[in-house]
Structure 1
Amino acid sequence: MTGHSVVMENALVRLEPLGGVHAEDLRAAAGDLGRIWYVDHVPSPEGVAAQIEFLLGSDNYAPWAVIDLAAGRAVGVTCMYNIDEHNRHCELGYTWLGAEAQGNGINAGLKLLVLTHAFEELGFIRAEFRCHSMNWQSRRALEKLGATYEGTLRRQRIMSNGTVRDSCIYSILDYEWPTVKCGLEARVEKTRHRSGA
């Protein structure tokens, strides 16, 4: 799969190809979260190994462990998937971060890395994000990122708990990327200065 073996790093975060070596850190990160009823892809601590196995066994996902450089450990997972090289687009997501990695620039840092990879290294013209219509935290984060809301796929997915999900679609296009990149770089730099990194 395109990009799976790539290691990427900036001042806040490193993305490494996901593997069993990250399981212990990810179990601790998942334990901080509790269960979120509208998010299927956030594992319980006991489910981390199964998630790693699933992602590594799939031809559809290019998964990375999110390494918080200040903490020196894995604090979450992010993926590129549904890659369409002919039409030069992909979906980004399946992302989760432990509670301690939220609100401190880690998400901006990982988005900067994976979007730079998609647009500048792979030459994609579109990056898409989907999230549960009730996941207001993710929706606000995507809007802050500069992604454009395109609409909602109603009753698009049956969740593991039996509820039916409406999926909101957001995207960033290649000609929008320079503006989005400037915003992400500013957020990463502000966080770096604030933390003294």
Structure 2
Amino acid sequence: MTHYSNSSGQPIGAPQPDWQARSFPEPRVLQGRYCRLEPFNSERHGHDLAAAYLSAPDGSDWTYMFSGPFANEQAYLGYARQLEASRDPQHYAVIDLTTLKAVGTLALMRIVPEHGVMEVGHVAFSPLMKRSRLSTEAHFLLMAFAFDELGYRRYEWKCDSLNAPSGRAALRLGFTFEGTFRQAIVYKGRSRDTQWYSIIDGEWPQVKQGFTRWLAEENFSPEGQQHSALEVLRAG
């Protein structure tokens, strides 16, 4: 690691003489091979999503979310209208290109253009897309938007420290664990310690290479089984 110091001999961060604030993301369609991300629209996406979420056997997918679970379609559609009205978080619907139906959502949030930092959150993937190429590609499309198109420096993931599947997903996708903020949040009547993860711009080329290799058609059998894991392809 290169060390820098000021005229007083104090250690300081790496110089960024050409840094300029980045643009606030303007919602737009992000096209992939297996899915498409569309700016969330309650009328266009709400009914598909309500059906997808209500297909789950119970409400456990919403345990670590700030919202949900939803008892019926009307309850979800009321929530969907709130998503559509939000600028930050900026919500996207995940469209399955096989069925052309919305099957999940995720969002850019805590967007700070002056520092080039944003977070992915409100990840609500229905049973129709879990553990699928769609779920991985949806994250890849949003990351590529942040780093390649908007030029952001840091992309964050945060979750309840007790949500082990979310932590494993972050590591699989290429995030680095940074630490735990104790008693950071109160939600749903309980305390939450929050785990922080990030990808920074210097890591993005290798992370992107892993995604590109994993999502390639030749990485899957005709039955849809992966030949090589994402972590292996990223390390390679």
Q: Same fold (TM over 0.5)?
A: yes
Equivalent in 172, 184, 197 of residue 199 of structure 2? 172
Structure 1 unaligned regions, length at least 5: none
Instruction: Report the more deviating stretch, 58-67 or 143-152.
Output: 58-67
Q: Is the 8 A contact 1:145 1:183 kept in 2?
A: no
Partner of residue 41, structure 2 = 19
Partner of residue 65, structure 2 = 39
Give the structure-2-normalised TM-score: 0.77
RMSD across aligned positions (CA): 2.1
SS class of match (1:169): strand
Q: Which residue type is aligned with residue 94 of structure 1?
A: H
**How far does the alpha carbon of each residue in 1:113-154 deviate from its partner, in whole angstroms, 9 at most, with x for none?**
000000011110000111111111111111011100011111
Task: Write the mapping of 1:48-67 to structure 2, written as runs, cut at 5 A.
Answer: 48-67=76-95
Partner of residue 129, structure 2 = 101
How many angstroms apart in 1 are the aligned matches of 2:211 and 2:143? 10
How many angstroms apart in 2 are the aligned matches of 1:73 and 1:196? 22
Matched, 1:78 2:100: no
Cα 1:179–1:101 shift into 2, 3 Å = same
Give the structure-1-normalised TM-score: 0.91
The structure with more radius of gyration: 2
Partner of residue 120, structure 1 = 148
How many angstroms apart in 1 are the aligned matches of 2:55 and 2:208? 30
Q: Which residue type is aligned with residue 175 of structure 2?
A: A
Q: Is the 8 A contact 1:30 1:42 kept in 2?
A: no
Partner of residue 185, structure 1 = 212
Structure 2 unaligned regions, length at least 5: 1-22, 225-236
How many angstroms apart in 1 are the aligned matches of 2:52 and 2:29? 21
Which of structures 1 and 2 has the larger relative contact order (alpha carbons within 8 angstroms, sep 6+)? 1
Q: Is the 8 A contact 1:41 1:94 kept in 2?
A: no
SS class of match (2:119): strand
How many angstroms apart in 1 are the aligned matches of 2:136 and 2:218? 10
SS class of match (1:109): helix
% identical aligned pairs = 31
In the alignment of these two chains, the number of paired residues is 196
**How far does the alpha carbon of each residue in 1:143-183 deviate from its partner, in whole angstroms, 9 at most, with x for none?**
011100011111111122x1111111100000101111111
